[in-house]
Amino acid sequence: MKREPSAEEKAFLEQYRPQDYPRPAVAVDLVILTIIDAQVRVLLVKRKEHPFKGGWALPGGFVRVGSGKEQGEDLDAAARRELLEETGLDPDRVLIEQLYTFGRAGRDPRMRVISVAYVALVRPDLAPIVRAGGDVSDADWFSIESLKKQELAFDHREIVDTALSRIRGKLEYSNIAFDLVPLTFTIPELRHVYAIVLDREMDPGNFRRKFNRMLEDGVIERAPGKRITASKPATVYRFKRR
């Protein structure tokens, strides 16, 4: 929106003082997903402070809001900053997108907190470096399965569920699967990702046919080499982009 404010409007803005109606705190929370040991995993951090001290929660933090002309950081920037801070991962190498905004009154007992949730997909070859960043005991990749028996802080379970449902939906009609697989991959490996995320077997033949259409569309291309497996080696491909 590029426009030139009128003189009158400029004057208004000069003398404008925000009313002190109570304002909520605004946070970004991240659902950082990857695949480790054939399981979908979400990164959780152990809370150091009340409330839910010692409990597991999604990584996140408050959005930086400046004062005066400096209004602070964009929401996306806050999400990317948190990703970097909490995992050490380069936000440019990770798919990160806004998920949904959770703002139920009382979701944080301290005060009114509105949380803009983001989902991030981390390629499994990048996931191991995450631990290196912080104290191992303070962050861990929880499998979705184990989450069923794990209590989460705040409404973070609901946020995780929303994220999974979103990712499962997008798997059908988008290319996000390529963000859950190393830079080069075989068709069976990609198929496993689908099977793991959707939690159902995919027919190898039918999957390959779908995949071949992507090849024809130029979305992916062959990469050099073959992947050695316990049986017949598989052709290696790579996604075109990045």
Q: Give me the residues that bind DNA (CB under 7 A), please.
A: 186-188, 203-206, 208-210, 212-213, 226, 228-235
Examine residue 85 and tell whether it contacts a second copy (CB under 8 A).
Answer: no
Q: Which of 12, 128, 198, 226 binds a second copy (CB under 8 A)?
A: 12
Q: Does 22 bind a second copy (CB under 8 A)?
A: yes
Q: Exposed, middle or buried, 229 (CB in 10 Å: 0-12/13-18/19+)?
A: exposed
Q: Which does 233 bind (CB under 5 to 8 A by kind): a second copy, DNA, none?
A: DNA
**62 is a site residue for a second copy (CB under 8 A):** yes
Q: How far is the CB of 213 from DNA (least distance, A)?
A: 6
Partners of 121 in the beta sheet?
Answer: 33, 95
Identify which of 76, 37, 30, 27 has the alpha carbon closest to the alpha carbon of residue 57: 30
Name the one range near a second copy by CB under 8 A: 33-41, 102-110, 136-144, 213-221. 102-110
Is there binding between residue 91 and a second copy (CB under 8 A)?
no
CA dihedral 162, 177, 240, 215 (to 10 degrees): -130
Residue 182 site contact among a second copy, DNA, none (CB < 5 to 8 Å, cut-off depends on kind): none
- Determine, following the binding rule CB under 8 A, whether residue 24 of this chain makes contact with a second copy: yes
Residue 174 binding a second copy, by CB under 8 A: no
DSSP-derived pairing of the beta strands 113-121 and 25-36: parallel
- Binding of a second copy at residue 225 (CB under 8 A)? no
The listed partner (a second copy, DNA, none) that binds 157, CB under 5 to 8 Å by sort, is: a second copy
| Site for a second copy, rule CB under 8 A | 1, 3, 5, 8-9, 12-13, 16, 18, 21-26, 50-53, 62-63, 65-67, 70-75, 98, 100-107, 109-112, 114, 116, 151-155, 157
